[in-house]
Structure 1
């Protein structure tokens, strides 16, 4: 089976971070978000993978993925940002009439894709959706089901009478491309994948569904990124050499990459520290991931994502629930609140 990951979105809700890095490449627990999806596909035996990107971000995707994976991916450019159905149509020649799995690049999940794929291949259905019960269905595409069938699909309704969100994990055969060509642009100005699936249902194609109990999250906001970082850090294992920790107190799960060091500090895990980063005379609290070549001194940080090459110096009070873009510098100037939450782009300098 082939795999498709859609990553051409602009990530406007996550600006300014996404001004400099595509959302699927934002590090979560020090690993670009898309890596978790690719690893799940490879584990399921799906190694023929196309990644749909836009012209502006194709080079950065190639750079990151080539560095990590010893295989080639097919990169497909979505020429216009006008909906999932149009993005999917760009992959038709790559799929070449085969059955395939499609995953949205901003979805996080803990599912055994191998089991889902095997069940689909043993069936005669034309497609399958995976649904999740949520508290805020209006944020998602919503499915209405009855008598073990999908009755209707609505994209981001103003008011939903179903709590079943459509996750960004789909299994299809070639007929989905026929449907994508038949639909018209929606009121939102996009060619909706929900409309394409509805076209299949209305034309007597067999679309199945499964309500999943496993973890799933659509990562679309700063809060989602921080929560996802917490989730991934919960599953890390401790790993460090004794010489990397000098005169410090650590507790919980701590993972230090090569060249990272902690001195005269208190660190409470789960915490992951990237290559050649240093923590001195500081407190680092739980659920913090720190990228490569970061310098933290005389500062207090917890529950945050710190990207590469940041420098945080002499911040006596707390920085928490924050995301600091690459190259951010934070220094103390005058007074500071008891706690500060910050979201920065790349190469920012902030005096607190």
Structure 2
């Protein structure tokens, strides 16, 4: 079983217990498949895989969960892929190796997921944050000069003072937020946001943001004065 780490998902793995195939690729229909690998299905099996197609011929995205019954077959396909130099933008993709398995007669079937939230870029991560806040149960902090617009998550060890938080604000452990408005944003552990209005932003672990209104994506331990 191969799982990519930059996602959240809910899937039924019981389909793997009595599998009449060489492998399974978990999939989900998406509106814009150009950022993903896609699968073309004929009957009950996948016949073609295309990585990040410029002109999608399918909306069935391959989401990064694969089951291969005999890993030796995948290893052999990867060896062939590398020997033939099959890559995209100078990168090797596992979908191309699985396509080689299919071309050699392997039966790979699709299986759906009920939930899939991508975390592969800033916009997707914020979307996943909104999903988690909508589906979870959180007790935001109470206190003077704090306005909470649910849903909001604030770690118990965070310090928040004279703030408006939310909707969709997540404040990590040890973070400090004061005299600020934080909407649709993630403030990571030990980060500081002061005298700022931020929206649609990610402030990395230990980073600092100080100043006026902005949309920012600040890496770990960075400092931004607006």
What is the TM-score normalised by the length of structure 2?
0.88
Secondary structure at 1:179 match in 2: helix
Identify which of 91, 95, 102 aligns with 1:190: 91
State the Cα distance separating 1:341 from its structure 2 match: 0.7
- Cα distance in structure 2, aligned partners of 1:306 and 1:171: 35
Secondary structure at 1:269 match in 2: coil
Query: 1:206 maps to what in 2?
Result: 107
Q: Would you tell me which structure has more strand in proportion to its own residues? A: 2
- Alignment CA distance shift 1:265-1:125 (3 Å): same
State the Cα distance separating 1:170 from its structure 2 match: 0.8
Say if 2:2 is the partner of 1:128.
no
User: Residue 185 of structure 1 contacts residue 192 of structure 1 at CA under 8 Å; is this kept in 2?
Assistant: no
Q: Deviations over 1:148-197 (max 9, x none)?
A: 33221112222111111111011112222222222232242233222221
Secondary structure at 1:298 match in 2: strand
Query: 1:347 maps to what in 2?
Result: 221
- Alignment CA distance shift 1:186-1:204 (3 Å): closer
User: Residue 158 of structure 2 contacts residue 173 of structure 2 at CA under 8 Å; is this kept in 1?
Assistant: yes
- Cα distance in structure 2, aligned partners of 1:331 and 1:160: 43
- Alignment CA distance shift 1:349-1:178 (3 Å): closer
Query: 2:68 maps to what in 1?
Result: 172
- Cα distance in structure 2, aligned partners of 1:211 and 1:236: 23
State the Cα distance separating 1:121 from its structure 2 match: 2.2
**Within-5 A mapping of 1:1-352:** 101-111=1-11, 115-116=12-13, 118-174=14-70, 175-183=73-81, 184-188=84-88, 189-212=90-113, 214-239=114-139, 245-246=142-143, 263-315=144-196, 318-332=197-211, 336=212, 339-352=213-226
Which segments of 5 or more consecutive residues in structure 2 lack a partner in the other structure? none
User: Residue 139 of structure 2 contacts residue 153 of structure 2 at CA under 8 Å; is this kept in 1?
Assistant: no
Which segments of 5 or more consecutive residues in structure 1 lack a partner in the other structure? 1-100, 247-262
RMSD value, Cα: 2.0
What is the TM-score normalised by the length of structure 1?
0.58
- Cα distance in structure 1, aligned partners of 2:142 and 2:33: 46
- Alignment CA distance shift 1:236-1:328 (3 Å): same
- Cα distance in structure 1, aligned partners of 2:31 and 2:96: 23
- Alignment CA distance shift 1:302-1:198 (3 Å): same
Q: Would you tell me which structure has more helix in proportion to its own residues? A: 1
- Cα distance in structure 2, aligned partners of 1:161 and 1:223: 25
Q: What is the aligned residue count? A: 221
- Cα distance in structure 1, aligned partners of 2:130 and 2:208: 24
Secondary structure at 2:198 match in 1: strand
Secondary structure at 2:217 match in 1: coil
Secondary structure at 1:245 match in 2: coil
User: Residue 146 of structure 2 contacts residue 164 of structure 2 at CA under 8 Å; is this kept in 1?
Assistant: yes
Secondary structure at 2:86 match in 1: coil
- Cα distance in structure 2, aligned partners of 1:326 and 1:211: 34
